[in-house]
Amino acid sequence: MSASQGPVVRPYGDTTGDGMVQVSFTLPVPHDKRAEGAAIQLANRMGMDPALLVHAKQMGDGFTFFVVYGRVNHLVDLSAVQVVERDFPLLSAKEVNAVVKRRLRRKLSVVGACIGTDAHTVGIDAILNVKGIAGEKGLEYYRELSVTNLGAQVSVPELVEAARAARADAVLVSQVVTQRDAHLHNTREMSAAFREALPAGRRPLLIVGGPRFDESQATELGVDRIFGRGTTPGEVASYLVHALVTGRKVGAA
């Protein structure tokens, strides 16, 4: 601890600094005493000592879901934590509209979709649909934004053509299905398709979001921004203004 350059913390369970954590996982075994012993063994090898099995439930044929509670000795050095900080101001809907109208002098075009086999539109609808989420209205509410919501299971070629037809300034893609890293494969395919279809100066801003994305992977995946869980329409709208209008990525006055 003496070598740390910042505050160091320990997990908190029942009392401050007791190191207690709770983890859940599934093992490909039917639920019996041996399965429970296997769960405890795994937890021990993960560094939990003692490890207490607090829940076990058969999940279909030959699978068991476990919840284990126990103590770990690991410390967290807060000075070594790396996150993507918001680097743009949050604007109200009124402010977004005013900036777009004054600086862009046309409506800012946004196209959104769930690509590949992903049929979960809750995320993209929360950002785009006028009803929004948690009392905050979506981008359709902004009078200076032109929004096209393509919905679910849109192929990458269809997305590229729709963006071209709408003269999109930004493309928003939501990915909830993550089995076998489908969200990463789909994102790479999308970014490659836009690079091939459009020259750099005419390429829309590419934004992806979903619960399993690492926000620091934007460059690796070939997109401009990644938004994680809990993102609001206002954050997305403010980012669009920052990246496309005040940052002059598109022709603004």
Integer angstrom CA distances of residue 149 from 42, 121, 126, 137, 247: 45, 10, 11, 15, 25
Q: Rounded to an integer, what distance in angstroms lies between the CA atom of residue 219 and that of residue 235?
A: 20
Structural contact between residues 173 and 217, judged by C-beta atoms closer than 8 angstroms: no
Catalytic residues: 131
